[in-house]
Every structure is written in structure tokens, then in C-alpha cells.
Amino acid sequence: MKKTFKFIVISVVLLLMAIGVWWFAADYQVYEDRPQKSLDEYVDLEQDFQKLFQLANDGETIELPAGHFKFSKALILDGKSNITIKGAGMDKTILSFRDQKEGAEGIRVANGSNITLEGFTIQDAIGDNIKAIYIDTLTFRRIKTEWTARPNTELGAYGLYPVICKNVLIEHCEASRGSDSGLYVGQSENIIIRNNRTYENVCGINVENSGNVAIYNNETFHNTSGITILDIPGLTRYTENIRVYDNKIYDNTLFNFAPPGNVAASTLSGTGIMIWAGKDISIYNNEILNNPFPTMIVSFLSSYKETKNKEFVPIAASEQARMKVGIKEEASLREDAINEKYETDKKYNPYSVGISLKNNTWSFGSLRKKIQSKDGALMALGLGGKNAHVWYDGVANPNGSTFCIENANDIKVAHLDILNDYSDAVIKVAAEKCEVVAKVQMK
């Protein structure tokens, strides 16, 4: 009898364990296993490529041949104008930095104008695959950026990383496995991000402290967050005039593999669109499907409350590499550094302001997806596991509208009351309606 009882107990325990693994892992691992190509199969023409970049004259095209090539240090184009870097095709010219010894980026483009990069794949830089800084008129076209290992905290941060640039176009590109973002634009103005695919990143598309931005006709899926727009203190400019429309944003339930202590590490798995202290943002005509948290709208204050007393954690290798070659105009990704800047940046507005939503198509996915992370479980179960179209931290802009929703009677909003430790969290039908939203005037 005792043996029978013991057998039943063990069986029940094993069954519960199996159910637990299935419950939390079945939707958690949405990435695909892809075998890494051996570096022995890559050709070493590094010196030839370095000369192409170093000796290029203004107005030239740098032709990259077809093939698989490996590099030990960054390729740098500095102080050039009217340059095109052109490969034989996205899947024909492959540049690998898996064995990188020097620098943080795979390709670094700086201090120039009218630069185009197109038609190649770049892989596995220590920090960022392609970084561009201080460029006026910059185009990324048919570029694939990826890290070939499984998602983990030691992968590089950004796939495409233009910062402090003007007149940026990113189109027909593909980005995967950035431990921060696949496609990123920061502290820049006049930006178009269109017709791209991002997947298996922490943030698929990320726009930070930028103005006059159009994000449309993109497909972003299997990330932690599909699209993230944020405004943080202490940088060279703030966010304004952003339009997000006609995108397919679905199945963004990948576990968060950002380095601990980085801003991206607070991104909630299951988020379709994340707005963090954003300003003047219109979100319309998007398909936001199978994301447990379709839209998140939060202030900087709720993040500051949650992170200001965190203990310091070690800096990941990818962030260390970026910091070694960083410049003063860039802020650290670290939460502690950003919190310090908030305390000294007197012009910074910590609230989300003027966010409008119109004519989006929504679905929510399963409860499993919603509670697979600790924060997701806290928010969802605290509200009885109910669905909401908009998840709002409850911190209203004191000087005007925080957000509004057209056809508000059909939209549910989860008011989380984060500053009061969720004490009055509740789901309501949206009450505030929007005026018709005009498309951003950009070509």
C-alpha cells in the first residue's frame, strides 16, 4: 500500500512538473534553432576590405564581392560623403565578426553625408553590427543583420544602430537576435522605417529620443517587444511626431535576454507596442495580433520607481565593448546611469504625452503567454487574467492628454496604478476619444 501511495505521489509530482514545463516553455521559445556555419568556411580577405574602406574617395561605390568573409576588427568609414557600400545581395555577401578582437562594431560609419549601405548580411559583432553616427542622409537597404548563436545576454546589442543622424531611411532590411534591438534609431530626425522584418530580438524596432519618424509596412514578430518607442533623460534631444501605421506586429512572446541592468531588460515579454514617456505618437491601422499586452503606455516615473533602488549588476561583455569606444554624446544603456541623468535633466518631461490609437486590429494570445514572466504574471493575475488592449501605468500627464483612443467604447484599458503598488489596478472601457489622425508628412 505504501509503495502504491509513493508511486502515485511521484507520478503526480512528475505530471505537475511536465505541465509546468509545457505551460511556461511552449510559447516561451519562439525562436528557431539555426546551425552556425563553421568559420573555417569563411574566407579571410580582411586586409583587402580594410583598404576598400580606408582609401575610398568621396563619390565612390565600395563593391563587396559575393562570398562568406571573416573579420577580426571593425570596418570603419569616417569623414566621407556620397559613398555607397554595396554587396552582391543580402544572402550572397556575408560578413562575419564572430572572431572579432578589436572594436565594438562590425561596421562603423561616422562624420559624413549621403551614405548608402545595401545588399549584404552582417553577423556577430561584439557590440553592434552596424553603427552610424553624425551622418546626414543615410540609407540602409536590403541589409540583413543577425547574431547566429541562440538568444543570450552576451549577444551584441543593436543590429542597425544610427544615432545622432538626419534623414535616415531603413527599408527592406531583416534583423534578428539583438540583445537590445534589431532596428534602432536614436537621437535623430526625419526617419523612415518601412518594409522590414524583425524577429527574435528583445526589441524588434526601437526608436529613442527622435523626431519626425514614420514606421510603416513592417513585419515584427517573435521578439520580446515588437515596437518600442521611448524618451529618456540626458540625451541630445527628445521625442516628437512619430507615426506607427500599417504594420504587422504579432506573436512577440520571446523571453527577454537583454543584459541585466540595461533598460531593455525591463521590456515585458508579450508586448506588441511599448511607449515609454513618448511624445506625440499616433498608432493606427496596425495588425497587433497574439500579443498578450498589445500596447503598453508608461511614464518614466513608474520605471524610476521600480529601478532606482536596484543593486548594481555586472556589465555584459557586449556593453563593455560598446562603452570602450563610446563617446560622450551617447548615454549608457544602464538603468542606474539613466536614473542619475533624470535627477539632473531639468528639461526632461517624464510623462507620456499625446499618444493616440485608431483603427488597429487586436488579439491577445493565450494566458500562458501572458504570465510566462514574473512581471507579466503580476500584472495579469492581479487583474484576474483578463485581456486589455492598452496597459497603462496610471501616471497621467498633469498638463494635458496622456493618450486617447478613437472608437473608445470598444477598447479596454488596464489602469495598473504602479506608483501605488497596483493597489487600485482595474480594467476600464476607454473613455477619451481622438480626433482623426493625419499621416506624417514624409516621403
pLDDT tens digit sequence for 139-171: 999 999 999 999 999 999 999 999 999 999 999
For the record, the C-alpha cell of 425 comes out as: 489596478
* Beta bridge pairs of residue 315: none
Q: Is 332 a residue whose pLDDT tops 70?
A: no
What percent of the chain has a predicted confidence (pLDDT) above 70? 81
- In angstroms and rounded to an integer, the radius of gyration of the C-alpha atoms of the chain is 22
Helix ranges (H only) for 37-167 are 46-54
Q: Is 406 a residue whose pLDDT tops 90?
A: no
Q: Is 44 a residue whose pLDDT tops 80?
A: yes
pLDDT of 367: 67
| Rounded distance between C-alpha atoms, residue 282 and residue 215, angstroms | 10
Residue type (1 letter), 59: G
70-79, 97-106, 272-281, 333-342: the lowest-pLDDT one: 333-342
* Beta bridge pairs of residue 174: 144, 197
pLDDT of 327: 41
pLDDT of 304: 82
pLDDT of 437: 41
**Beta-strand pair 73-78/361-362:** unpaired
pLDDT of 316: 57
pLDDT of 417: 86
pLDDT of 29: 73
H/E run at residue 87: none
- Closest alpha carbon to 192 in 129, 120, 246: 246
In the numeric block, the cell 537576435 is attached to 177
**Beta-strand pair 426-429/412-415:** antiparallel
pLDDT of 442: 40
pTM (whole model) above 0.85: yes
pLDDT of 33: 86
Mean pLDDT of the chain: 86
pLDDT of 4: 58
| Rounded distance between C-alpha atoms, residue 27 and residue 37, angstroms | 27
pLDDT class of 440 with cuts at 50, 70, 90? very low
Q: Is 408 a residue whose pLDDT tops 70?
A: no
pLDDT class of 441 with cuts at 50, 70, 90? very low
